[in-house]
Each structure stands twice: as C-alpha cells, then as structure tokens.
Chains A and B, each alone.
Chain A
Amino acid sequence: MSQVFDRRTIVVLVLLAAAAILVPAMNMLAAPGSAFHLSDHLVPLLGKYLAFALLALSVDLVWGYCGILSLGHGAFFALGGYAMGMYLMRQIGARGVYANPTLPDFMVFLNWKELPWFWYGFDWFPFAMLMVLLVPGLLAFVFGWFAFRSRVTGVYLSIITQAMTFALMLAFFRNDMGFGGNNGLTDFKDILGFPIQAASTRVVLFVASAVALAGGYLLCRWIVTSKLGKVLVAVRDAESRTRFLGYRVEHYKLAVFTLSAMLAGVAGALYVPQVGIINPGEFAPANSIEVVIWVAVGGRGTLAGAILGALVVNAGKTWFTGALPELWLFALGGLFVFVTLLMPKGILGTAEEWWERARRKPKAGVAPDALPSAAE
C-alpha cells in the first residue's frame, strides 16, 4: 500500500485537495474585485481542465503502462458524455421551447412521436451514471476482446481505434440516430434538481471533478503498483516474452483497456454539465489524437504527467485562442514539435531528470548551500 503513496502521488493529491478547497473559497468567499477572487467564468473552465486530465489519465494507463496507443479514447469520453447529456436532457422536461413533457426539443423538431427505447431510464440519475460506466466499458470490452484476441498490435491497433471513433462520429452525426445529430444535446437546465448555471452548482461540479480525478489517480496508482501493473509493463516492453512466460496477455490488456474506457466515460460525464453541450464533434479522431499529445507533453507512463500535460496544453489553448487568435496554431503545433524533439520524457520526466541531476551533484562534493544555484 505504501507503494501507492509515493511522493509524487502525495503531491498530486495535496494539490488536488488544495484546488478543491481554494477554488470554491476564492470564488464564493473572496469579494469580487479582490486579488484572491476567482471569477465565475474560470470555475467551469478549470473544471473542464480536470475532466480532460482524467481523460488523459485513462489514456496514460493504457498507453504509458500497457503500450496500447488508443487513438479512439475520445469515443469513450464522448459516450460517457452522451449518457450524462441524455440524463440532463430528460431533466429539462416541459421547459423546452415546445413544452413537450417527454420528448427533447430536437425530437419534436424532427416530428418524432415517441421516445426511442434507448432513451428509457435516463431520467433516473443512478441509471444514467451506470450507463456512463457501462456503455464505454462494454464497447471497450467488445472491441478489445476481438482486437487483443486476434493479436492486433501497434500501429494497426491505433488505426482501428481511430476507425472506431470515426465510425461513431459519422453515426452520431446522423439525425436518424436519435441523439440530436450535429447539434447534439444542449440547453441543459438542472442536475439532480440544482440549476446547472448556478455558481454553487458549478463549484460542486468542480469539486466533483477534483474528487473524481483524485480517485482515478489513486485507482491507476494502485493498478500500476500491483502485480497486475508489473505484468502490464512487461506486456508493454516485450509482449511475446510475457506470453511465453505463461501470462494470458490478452486478458490483462482487455481488463485494463475496459477499465480505462470507463474512466474516460466518467471524464466525459463530468465534462458535459460544465461545458453545457455534447455533440458528435467529440468523436472526431483529431480530439483523440490530441489527448495522446497531452499525455506525451506531460510525460508518458507517469500518471501525474498526463494530468500535468492536460492542464498545460489546455490552459495554453485557452490563452492562445484569446491572445493570438490568428497565430495560435503555430504556437500549439510548435509546442508539440518542441516537446517531442527536446523533451522526449515530457515535461514531468524532463523536470524530474533535472531534479535528480541537481540532487546527485551535491553528493559529488558540492555544498548543500549551493543547491538552488545548481538547480538553475
């Protein structure tokens, strides 16, 4: 158990706890205008970053520790999001523009007469939450069961995960599917009876995201430090050899892939109420590729790095799209090239390398006092 709580884990947990306390405090308690006040529009933004961080974490679990480069994790994220979106849609009830008590607006719009069967049950929160886990989990299980059993690996696996999310995107774009087509699900009103736009609800959602991220992080830590985790790393580094040693490689892969998809689903479910819309664009292959990039930027195979990467890239994106609207793609693209070329271990890996080097130097005879300057 002590293995789970290494120093990095403690730092991550403390930071998350601090965020979960400080953000609400700075938003609700500090007077507007004071230096410590956190403006209302930043709360859902930070919450969104945390949801993305959880998604990045789920990718790092399969890619960093098991060598499965999924270019389709956005699909699991979006499915979780849709499950949450369907719950939120049902909560609107008769407050839609057409005041139909059961049918969402887009169905009235398209002359649907009754609710399709797959919308049943989503008005009940526990059921919707179950679906947040089950739908992505089931898809991952079925997909993984076929793929890993047939020993589809490497680039081939990456490309078919991409085909999967692309096919889902096309399917969800179809208005006939019953998920609102391109417009997706939007204009949500309540979650569990609380108005979704209230500042307090936002803060609660932020805290929930922080808690979910902490929980997800602990779960991942627990997995990678357990015996299962050792086998996963073995699979990553030498799949055939692991198989020859008698491990059922595909079972391990399948288990961790399914679990990761569920985590991604949770991330999606947290994302949707905070941004207020879910639409098929989330299935776009480009989104899934971006998640992989967050992980790479932060540092693959470190878990904490995935979180860091998601936060850094998304904060950068928010800032660039506002500050350099015409040129931000140069900045973002340049960042990716820079990180892959010069920081192959990502920000976290590189930073820790420097830290280690700096720590080792004093042992080689430098006085402890000189430590800060050595770090520079």
Chain B
Amino acid sequence: MMILRDSLRALLVLLALSWASVAMAGPYEDALQKFTTDSYADTDTAIVGVASSGNPQALAVVEALRDGRLLAGAGRVVIRDASGAMTDAATGQAIAGAAPADLKPVRVNNRVRRAIEAALGSMTLMSPDAGKRLDAARAVFRSKDAAALPILDQALAQEKDATVKTILEEARAAILLSAPDISSADRIAAIGVLKARGNQDALALLSSVTGAPEVVEAAQAAAAGIRSRLELWNALQNVWYGISLGSVLLLAAIGLAITFGTMGVINMAHGEMVMIGAYTTFVVQEIIRTQMPGLFGASLFIALPLAFVVAGGIGILIERTVIRFLYGRPLETLLATWGLSLMLQQAVRSIFGPTNREVGTPAWMSGALELGGLSLTYNRIAIVIFAFGVFAALLLVMRYTSLGLFVRAVTQNRRMAGSMGIRTNRIDALAFGLGSGVAGIAGVALSQIDNVSPNLGQGYIIDSFMVVVFGGVGNLWGTLVGAMTLGIANKLLEPYAGAVLGKIVLLIAIILFIQRRPRGLFALKGRAVEA
C-alpha cells in the first residue's frame, strides 16, 4: 500500500509538472511491459507507471484495463475496443486481422481495481465531460491522496459545475484532514466543509481525526452534530425499509386477497402462481437475451402482461378443473390446492431444473437515489410504486367494472346473483384467474429481489395469509393496511430485536391482535359474516 501511495504521489507531481510536455516513450513502454507478467503487484506498478507517463495512450490503456479489454502476452500489450478492433498500446497503431492467440486479458483483483480507480480519478479531473469529472472527484475523495492536492486545486479553480465543485472541495477537505503538516486553521476549515457534507463518510473521517486539541475538539463537535442528524435520518430510513418490505408483502398477498379474501378459497397454491410469474420473467429475458438484446431494459414490461396471462390462465384452468367442485367447502380447497402446489413445484422443477435461474435487473433499476440522509435504491422504489399501482388498479377493477361488480355480487350471495342473471360459473373462473394473474405479476417484481427457484412461492405463502387475515378477509384496503403495518413494524423491530426475534414478536402480536378483533382489522359487517 505504502509503495503504491508513494509512487502515485511521485507520478502526480510529475504529471503536474509535465502536464503539457511531450510524452516520453521510455518509461511508458517500460511500464507497459509490466502488464505482461501476470502478477497483480506488477500490474499495480504498471498502472502507476502508465498513468504517470503522460502518454496520450495512457487513459485508453487504463480504461481498457478496467473494462477487461487490455490484452497482454509475449511482450506485447494490445487494446481491444468495444467493437473488437485492436490497437497496439505501445505504438497506437491499429492491428489488422484477428487477435493473436497468445494474448490474454490482463487479470485484475480488488487491489488493482482500486489502483485503476485512483489513477483514473487523477487523470480525468480535467475531463471535458462533467460526469467523468464527478466520478474523478469521488475517486479522489475516497483515495484521500495528498499528492493529488496540486492538481485538485487546479481543477477547483476551473470548475464551473456546482455539484462537481462541492465534491472537489470535500475531496480537498478530506485530504487536508488526513495529510500531515497541515495548519490547524486549514484543518478546521476542512472540518466545516465535511460537516456540511454530513453523511456517513464525513462522520468516518471526522471521528478518526487526531492532532492539535482544538482541531480534535472541532472535529468531535462536528461529528456529534452529524451523528444526531443521522439518527433522525436513520429512523426515517427504517420506515422506508418498512414501506418497501410492506410493498413486497402487499404484492405477495394481493392476489390472495381476491382468491382467498373474496372468494373464500384457501389457496395454498397461491405462492406457486407468484413463482410462475417469476419464471415467466426468466423465460422472457432468456428470449430477449438471445433474440433481441436491445430490448433488455424493457424486459420487465414485456413480462408483466405475459405473467398475468400465464398465471391467470393456469388459475382459470385450476378453477375449472378442481376448485369449482369445492365451493362452500373452504377447508377442502385447502387440501386440493396444497396438492396442486406440490405438483406445480415439481412441474417447474422438472422443466427448469431445481437450481436458481438468473433474472437480470435492467440498468434503470440499478443504483440508489440519495435523498438527504436517505438512500433509496431504485429497484425498491420501483417495487413500492408498482405495488401501489397494482393495488389501485385492482381496487378500480373491483369497484368500477362490471366484472368487479359481479364478483362482489357472487361472493356475497351466490344464489341471488345467479337469479339476477349473472353467470356465476364464469365469474368464479374469471375472479380466480384475476387473483392468480395478479399473483403472477407480483412474481415479476419479486424476481428482482429474490431467488427464482421452485421454492419461491413457499417463502411467501405464510406471510401472505397473515397479511390477508390481519387486514380482514374480503377487504382490499385491509390487505394494504395489513401489509404496510406488518412491514413497518417488522423493520422498526429489527434493529432492536434482530431479524428472528422481531418476526417472532410480530407473529405473537398477530395472534393477540386476532383475539381483540377476531375478524381482522377491517371486518366485513353484515350477514355475509356468518356464512
């Protein structure tokens, strides 16, 4: 580590001095040779050497190394660009024809990756692209390398973009705080900058400050301020985790709220419908991957209607062949659907194999949104929005469409509904299909955060029943409130009780709650209750 830092320092000084000077061929080529030895330590030295050479090819070499496009072997180093065209790293000349067989990509490990990041950081601080400058500033903030100070100052002087400028200043403050021989006044000013940053990284820097008493005091005061602010954000963050867990529960349970809550079928195969939705996503992505890779970002949107149709179709098939003979005997639906769930699991296992299948995350769902002290990951945001969207859609269907009206009529009083001319058979099948289809689209969302395996559904079935029963059977709002309550309560308990005890406490709470309200949170009133 020390050697790396020293040499990096040396290189940066050199870089600063010879910024516009003519590149010298000697050191650059020497450094390149180090890539060919297949040793991480040599690769490390090579990066430093290449970056310090000032050679116009240097940036391309380091970037190629980062992306695994730098090939080396037999005394030669070659850059391959995204299209597959080869360039000799030493001469910059294009190489015609196929890649020489003796060349292999230069291997990287975490240590090399860090060196790449640091080198790229200092090399791209002046990049014309604001995004690249931002990344570079962050890299410098992380490496806290005192040698980067001169070039950092230079970059600061030119920087126009406010966001980049803030990060540059913070990077400078971070360096000032950890470097030796900095005046107390400068360090206290740096503390002020970091206090304004006010996040976990700043806290880490501030709490490890040593040196003059007044500096340490200022750092500790700033750290205390950040800490109490973070406490607050932390509580909010937990609520967010709760909402996001609640959304997962809501998604898992909402189909059940129809098949079980409204129709009274104790549908133990519900989890398998979710699983089928997840596998549909897998199949869609497989096809997209091989046939039209450009559409990958939209794969989930393509999977949604398909999952609805596939799971809904299987639901209708199940209803027509099994469930319809069992209306009025709810407990027997439990047995039959349990049998069905075993068969569906085994069917999926036979078709797709017992192992997890890979469902990819589209690029737009990766990463996190920083909101004050909150960190909201995009995929969770997507799931929360999606869950509420599904809920709203289902609510509208049940409330404002004739299908919804008929379903409600049939479940409230089958014979009366029949006498009014509703084809109860058809409505049963459609309602079961609707519930199953909704479970299917939940599977699309859950494939993003969980295993896609034959056991997927089993993991959600008990939680789903808890949510529906806790919220009150037959009431969609109850399911929403139930899911959110359980999700948030779980996440607020977890930091204190741990994941397992928290869950146990919650289960006991549900048991006790049912004593107080034997028909759940939002109990149906009226004659239907006694049926």
Direct contact of A and B (CB under 8 A): yes
Give A residues with C-beta under 8 Å from B. Answer: 69, 143, 146-147, 149-156, 158-160, 162-164, 166-167, 170-171, 173-174, 240, 285-286, 289, 292-293, 296, 326-327, 329-330, 332-337, 339-341, 344
The contact of A340 among B326, B466, B515, by CB within 8 Å, is B326
Residue among A170, A327, A335, A339 with the most chain B CB within 10 A? A170
A163 touches B346 (CB 8 A): no
Could you list 15 further interchain pairs (A-B, Cβ under 8 angstroms) beyond the known A336-B339, A337-B336? Answer: A69-B331, A146-B515, A150-B518, A152-B515, A162-B465, A167-B503, A174-B500, A240-B530, A296-B335, A329-B343, A333-B346, A336-B338, A337-B322, A337-B339, A341-B336
> CB of B334 within 8 A of chain A?
yes
Bound CA–CA A151/B530 (angstroms): 13
> CB of B511 within 8 A of chain A?
yes
B516 touches A335 (CB 8 A): no
Contacts of A156 in B (CB 8 A): 469, 473, 514, 518-520
Interface 1/0s, chain B 488-531, versus A by CB < 8 A?
Answer: 00000000000011011001101110111011100000000010
> CB of B369 within 8 A of chain A?
no
A164 touches B518 (CB 8 A): no
B342 touches A344 (CB 8 A): no
B341 touches A163 (CB 8 A): no
Interchain Cβ contacts under 8 Å between A and B, 24 examples: A69-B331, A146-B515, A150-B515, A154-B330, A156-B469, A156-B520, A160-B514, A162-B465, A164-B507, A166-B462, A166-B507, A167-B503, A170-B500, A170-B507, A293-B335, A329-B342, A330-B346, A336-B335, A336-B338, A336-B339, A337-B322, A337-B343, A341-B322, A341-B336
Q: A69-B331, A170-B504, A173-B500 in contact; A332/B339 too (CB < 8 A)?
A: yes
Contacts of B512 in A (CB 8 A): 146
Bound CA–CA A156/B331 (angstroms): 12
Q: How far is the CB of B260 from chain A (nearest CB, A)?
A: 8
Q: How far is the CB of B124 from chain A (nearest CB, A)?
A: 50
> CB of B332 within 8 A of chain A?
yes
> CB of B46 within 8 A of chain A?
no
What is the interface size of chain B, counting residues whose CB is below 8 A from a CB of the partner? 44
Residue among B338, B340, B458 with the most chain A CB within 10 A? B338
Count A/B pairs, Cβ under 8 Å. 121
Contacts of A335 in B (CB 8 A): 339
Q: How far is the CB of B333 from chain A (nearest CB, A)?
A: 8
Q: Which of chain B's residues has its CB closest to A327's CB?
A: B346
Bound CA–CA A330/B345 (angstroms): 9
A340 touches B504 (CB 8 A): no
Residue among A164, A285, A333, A341 with the most chain B CB within 10 A? A333
Q: How far is the CB of A261 from chain B (nearest CB, A)?
A: 16
Q: How far is the CB of B497 from chain A (nearest CB, A)?
A: 11
> CB of B329 within 8 A of chain A?
yes
Q: How far is the CB of A38 from chain B (nearest CB, A)?
A: 31
Residue among A153, A296, A335 with the most chain B CB within 10 A? A296
Q: How far is the CB of B527 from chain A (nearest CB, A)?
A: 13
B518 touches A152 (CB 8 A): yes
Bound CA–CA A158/B465 (angstroms): 10
Residue among A152, A160, A164, A166 with the most chain B CB within 10 A? A160
Which residues, 296 to 347 on B, are CB-close (under 8 Å) to A? 322, 325-326, 329-332, 334-336, 338-343, 345-347
Q: How far is the CB of B167 from chain A (nearest CB, A)?
A: 45
Q: Which of chain B's residues has its CB closest to A171's CB?
A: B504
A333 touches B342 (CB 8 A): yes
Contacts of B273 in A (CB 8 A): none
Interface 1/0s, chain B 464-499, versus A by CB < 8 A?
Answer: 011001000100000000000000000000000000
Q: Which of chain A's residues has its CB closest to B473's CB?
A: A155
Residue among B332, B339, B515, B519 with the most chain A CB within 10 A? B339
Bound CA–CA A220/B200 (angstroms): 65
The contact of B466 among A146, A163, A293, A341, by CB within 8 Å, is A163
Bound CA–CA A181/B299 (angstroms): 42
A289 touches B462 (CB 8 A): no
Residue among A153, A154, A155, A171 with the most chain B CB within 10 A? A155
Residue among B326, B335, B345, B346 with the most chain A CB within 10 A? B335
> CB of B168 within 8 A of chain A?
no
Contacts of B466 in A (CB 8 A): 159, 163
Contacts of B11 in A (CB 8 A): none
The contact of A289 among B334, B350, B504, by CB within 8 Å, is B334
Bound CA–CA A289/B501 (angstroms): 24
Q: How far is the CB of B271 from chain A (nearest CB, A)?
A: 11
Contacts of A333 in B (CB 8 A): 338-343, 346
Which residues, 430 to 473 on B, are CB-close (under 8 Å) to A? 458, 462, 465-466, 469, 473
Bound CA–CA A14/B203 (angstroms): 78
Q: How far is the CB of A164 from chain B (nearest CB, A)?
A: 6
Residue among A146, A150, A174, A341 with the most chain B CB within 10 A? A341
B473 touches A330 (CB 8 A): no
Q: Which of chain A's residues has its CB closest to B516's CB?
A: A150
> CB of B219 within 8 A of chain A?
no
Q: How far is the CB of B318 from chain A (nearest CB, A)?
A: 10
Q: How far is the CB of B460 from chain A (nearest CB, A)?
A: 13
A340 touches B473 (CB 8 A): no
> CB of B275 within 8 A of chain A?
no
Contacts of B519 in A (CB 8 A): 156
Contacts of A340 in B (CB 8 A): 326, 332, 335-336, 339
Q: How far is the CB of A69 from chain B (nearest CB, A)?
A: 6
A162 touches B504 (CB 8 A): no
> CB of B65 within 8 A of chain A?
no
B339 touches A285 (CB 8 A): no
Q: Which of chain A's residues has its CB closest to B470's CB?
A: A159
B343 touches A334 (CB 8 A): yes
Q: How far is the CB of B349 from chain A (nearest CB, A)?
A: 8
Bound CA–CA A269/B516 (angstroms): 34
B507 touches A163 (CB 8 A): yes
Q: A151-B518, A285-B462, A336-B339 in contact; A167/B508 too (CB < 8 A)?
A: yes
Q: A163-B511, A327-B346, A344-B332 in contact; A155/B340 too (CB < 8 A)?
A: no
Bound CA–CA A263/B372 (angstroms): 59
B335 touches A329 (CB 8 A): no
Q: Which of chain A's residues has its CB closest to B517's CB?
A: A150
Bound CA–CA A362/B507 (angstroms): 58
Q: How far is the CB of A3 from chain B (nearest CB, A)?
A: 28
> CB of B268 within 8 A of chain A?
yes
Bound CA–CA A146/B518 (angstroms): 11
Bound CA–CA A293/B337 (angstroms): 11
Q: A327-B346, A334-B343, A340-B332 in contact; A159/B465 too (CB < 8 A)?
A: yes
Interface 1/0s, chain B 194-231, versus A by CB < 8 A?
Answer: 00000000000000000000000000000000000000
Interface 1/0s, chain B 380-396, versus A by CB < 8 A?
Answer: 00000000000000000
Bound CA–CA A246/B396 (angstroms): 46
Bound CA–CA A133/B343 (angstroms): 37
Q: Which 6 A-B pairs have the closest CB atoms?
A: A336-B339, A333-B342, A333-B343, A329-B346, A167-B507, A333-B339
Q: Which of chain A's residues has its CB closest to B349's CB?
A: A329
> CB of B137 within 8 A of chain A?
no
Q: How far is the CB of A289 from chain B (nearest CB, A)?
A: 6
